[in-house]
Amino acid sequence: MNIKYKLFGLFFKQNSKLECHNVLLTTNTYYKNLSKENKKNFRIRTLIFLETTNFNSDPEFHLDKSMKIIISSAFVQITFGLKINTLNIFNNIFITPRSYSYKNNTAIFDGDVNLYTKKINMSWPAIENGFKIPDDAINLSIHEFGHCLIFENTKRSYLSKIFKEKSFNQWKKQAEYKFQKIKLNKNKVLRDYAGTNLMELFSVSLETFFEKPEFFEKNEPILYLSMVKLFKQDPRNKLNPIIK
């Protein structure tokens, strides 16, 4: 087990780690497929994220610990190959019992990252469905955390960037090719929403990267491999996805 997480692990109670394991084993397919050693690191990272993030919900909606574990696991999944353990700017998560809308706006949301309130808002049914169907390339919490990573990466100083600049630039180059393909209707890998802008293309790619990695690699190998480099993991290797 990674020394850092072994030490962190000492701060969490045994029954807390066991609860985390039991919840993830039945809800998160990525976790379920990991090796025993990776599972240990994943659990500790999930608990670190959970304990350092403020979770809130509508007063009428009770957000229990297992729900927080599931939400936290999406963050750990996408950052499993990276050094980041928590979000600095977006460490407030607000959960609603259903889809929602904003004043003076007719759009209905299941999730959004609000740059003004610095909050991540998500509806519980959409989060749950994201994990219930693990291979449809739709996972709301992976999508929203994807946005957070881009925002936080932009705000960080050169030395504390989440992504290596070279890998990020390589990804951007491939993403721009892909964006043009979508505009020309020559896309069969990502859902159409990726054609909204590069920010959405990033999050939609991330959902596909984790939920349909073989299909993604087969049809868009260069874009797929740029994501492997960026996230330092290859989700096709289910037992041990991290690239050293």
Of 41 and 123, which CB lies nearer to Zn ion in the complex structure?
Answer: 123
Give the span between the Cα atoms of 158 and 10, in whole angstroms. 32
Q: How far is the CB of 143 from Zn ion (least distance, A)?
A: 6
CB of 75 to Zn ion, least distance (A): 16
Please name the amino acid found at residue 176: E
> Is-contact 189 220, C-beta < 8 A?
yes
Give the whole-angstrom CA distance, residue 238 versus residue 210. Answer: 10
Nearer residue to Zn ion within complex by CB, 21 or 172: 172
Report the residue number, 200 or 220, with the smaller CB distance to Zn ion: 200
SS3 string, 2-59, reads CHHHHHHHCCCCHHHHHHHHHHHHHHCHHHHHCCHHHHHHHHHHHHHHHHHCEEEECC
Find the farthest-apart pair of alpha carbons in the chain and give their distance in angstroms, rounded. Answer: 54
According to DSSP, the β-strands at 92-96 and 100-101 are unpaired
Closer residue to Zn ion, CB minimum distance, 11 or 102: 102
Q: Are 94 and 56 in contact (CB under 8 A)?
A: yes
Kindly state the tokens that stand for 71: 């939400």
In the complex with Zn ion, the residue whose CB is nearer, 9 or 111, is 111
Instruction: Count the residues of the shown chain that bind Zn ion, applying the rule CB under 5 A.
Output: 2
In whole angstroms, how close is the CB of 235 to Zn ion at the nearest point?
20
CB of 204 to Zn ion, least distance (A): 8
DSSP symbol at 222: H
Closer Cβ to Zn ion, 29 or 203, answer by number:
203
Least separation in angstroms between CB 187 and Zn ion: 17
Detail the DSSP E strand segments found in the chain.
54-57, 92-96, 100-101, 108-109, 111-114, 119-123
- x-marked contacts with Zn ion along 184-223 as a string, rule CB under 5 A: ----------------x--x--------------------
Min separation Cβ 14 and Zn ion, Å: 38
Q: Which residues bind Zn ion (CB under 5 A)?
A: 200, 203
